[in-house]
Amino acid sequence: MKTVRWGIIGPGNIAHKFADALRTIESAILTAVASRDKSRARRFADQYAVPLAFDSYAALAACPELDAVYIATPHSHHAKPTTDCLKHGKAVLCEKPITVNAAELQYLIDLAHQNNTFLMEAMWTRFLPIMETVKDWIDTGAIGEPRLVQADFGFRSDKKNPKTRLFNPALAGGSLLDVGVYPISFSHWVFGDAPVAVSGQAMLGDTGVDEQMCATMKFTGGRLASVISAIRTKTNGMATIFGTDGQIRIAPPFWQATTATLIRGKNQQTIERPFQVNGFEYEIMEVCRCLNAGLAESPKLTLQDSLGVMQTLDMLRAQWKLHYPSELKK
Ligand SMILES: NC(=O)c1ccc[n+]([C@@H]2O[C@H](COP(=O)([O-])OP(=O)(O)OC[C@H]3O[C@@H](n4cnc5c(N)ncnc54)[C@H](OP(=O)(O)O)[C@@H]3O)[C@@H](O)[C@H]2O)c1
């Protein structure tokens, strides 16, 4: 397999986890990093032995020595560097949620198609080995017909600084986009479709973003999903798929699970599939595989899938009248 030369834009919290995983992958090499601040780029480059350090995202996007770029900026700042990278023919793996809303994503999809360039949302949960087992159980009818999904992702942040990305509307903060996207994307994946109806309730905090929310999604045939997210309240992190003949429980936290349990009557079977590194290696390997196969998107997480999820997030925010400053300007 040809080695994919990677760049990272936005060397913050999550970029470290990504770099830790990437350096263990044979078909990938970390070649460049870009920060708005030269010394931050240099520090990250020194830590991970990265040859090129840029003090502008645009310079990295234009660098001819790269094949793929990982975008690890706050959600509000995904679309611009992704646009620049796609225009320069770079494959893009962009952190979740891939954009702030569906309109932004539709623009990027059109651009990726025009340039015949790869684009994928970094919804890493989808690529975990245990999810292959879960998919296999669903597809082989181990729980009969899947009817209901229940999933939650909530944690308690101390909110010392309301300007940080979790609480800041200018950075598209709030629980829905930050962590609600996991149970929502999971539900879309289980039912292999987007919902026909969505409704929800949210508690908007003093900065104007949702600090917690509950949502219900109705899929064709009466299949339902119930999801929770929170950034000021810790929840169990469970995902359960209920079928006509049994259920699948994905060990908390489900978004980084290594075990899942199949329950049929009194019979229980638990499967464990540990990570090679930290779980990020699987999405990176998927991008390398797709690029080597000449694919413009991953069949495991298509752009249409991500667009369906963004539409669900848009519908919920519309019900709560939660709009971000960048959306109000238009
Ligand atoms: N997959 C996962 O498990 C996971 C976990 C956490 C977060 N995420 C996602 O990853 C993305 C980044 O999250 P994070 O926690 O790593 O964020 P972060 O540390 O707060 O920010 C990441 C970097 O973005 C850059 N940045 C660009 N414009 C910025 C602005 N206006 N304000 C602040 N920073 C800005 C900064 O880099 P420079 O200033 O150096 O350029 C910063 O270090 C988010 O979309 C989030 O949803 C994913």
Per-residue pLDDT reduced to its tens digit, 137-163:
999 999 999 999 999 999 999 977 889
Q: What is the pLDDT of residue 161?
A: 87
Assess whether the C-beta atom of 14 lies below 6 angstroms from ligand 1: yes
| pLDDT over 80 (residue 36) | yes
Centroid of ligand 1 to alpha carbon of 260 (angstroms): 30
Assess whether the C-beta atom of 42 lies below 6 angstroms from ligand 1: no
pTM of model > 0.85: yes
pLDDT in tens, 273-299: 999 999 999 999 999 999 999 999 999
Strand, helix or coil for residue 28: strand
Q: Ligand 1 pocket check: which of 73, 161, 166, 313 to mutate, most ligand atoms within 8 Å of Cβ?
A: 73
Asked whether the bond before 253 is cis by omega within 30 degrees of 0, the reply is yes
Closest CA to 156 of 184, 179, 172, 177: 179
Assess whether the C-beta atom of 77 lies below 6 angstroms from ligand 1: yes
Strand, helix or coil for residue 291: helix
Centroid of ligand 1 to alpha carbon of 93 (angstroms): 14
Q: Ligand 1 pocket check: which of 8, 9, 14 to mutate, most ligand atoms within 8 Å of Cβ?
A: 14
Segment 247-266 shows an average pLDDT of 97
163 against 222, higher pLDDT: 222
pLDDT in tens, 21-35: 999 999 999 999 999
| pLDDT over 80 (residue 113) | yes
Q: What is the pLDDT of residue 328?
A: 82
Assess whether the C-beta atom of 13 lies below 6 angstroms from ligand 1: yes
Judge whether 173 and 229 are in contact, CB under 8 Å: no
Q: Where do the DSSP E strands lie in the chain?
A: 4-9, 28-34, 52-54, 68-71, 91-95, 119-122, 146-154, 197-204, 210-218, 224-230, 239-243, 247-250, 259-264, 267-272
What are the φ/ψ torsions at residue 224 (nearest 5 degrees)? Answer: -130, 150
Q: What is the pLDDT of residue 251?
A: 87
In the chain, the percentage of residues whose pLDDT exceeds 70 is 99
Of 85-94, 179-188, 211-220, 321-330, the range with the lowest mean pLDDT is 321-330
Going by alpha carbons, the residue nearest to atom 4 of ligand 1 is 14
Q: What is the mean pLDDT of the chain?
A: 97
Going by alpha carbons, the residue nearest to atom 26 of ligand 1 is 73
How does strand 239-243 pair with strand 224-230? unpaired
Q: What is the pLDDT of residue 162?
A: 87
Going by alpha carbons, the residue nearest to atom 43 of ligand 1 is 12
Going by alpha carbons, the residue nearest to atom 3 of ligand 1 is 14
Segment 257-278 shows an average pLDDT of 98
Centroid of ligand 1 to alpha carbon of 194 (angstroms): 28
Q: What is the pLDDT of residue 330?
A: 53
What are the φ/ψ torsions at residue 287 (nearest 5 degrees)? Answer: -65, -45
Assess whether the C-beta atom of 75 lies below 6 angstroms from ligand 1: yes
Q: What is the pLDDT of residue 1?
A: 86
**Would you place residue 114 in the very low, low, confident or very high pLDDT band (cuts 50, 70, 90)?**
very high
Assess whether the C-beta atom of 11 lies below 6 angstroms from ligand 1: yes
Assess whether the C-beta atom of 253 lies below 6 angstroms from ligand 1: no
Cα R_g (the chain), whole angstroms: 19
Assess whether the C-beta atom of 72 lies below 6 angstroms from ligand 1: yes
pLDDT in tens, 187-201: 999 999 999 999 999
User: How many Cα atoms occupy the beta-carbon half-sphere of 298 within 13 Å?
Assistant: 23
**How far is it, in rounded angstroms, from Cα 318 to Cα 122?**
25
Q: What is the pLDDT of residue 329?
A: 64
| pLDDT over 70 (residue 64) | yes
Judge whether 234 and 175 are in contact, CB under 8 Å: no
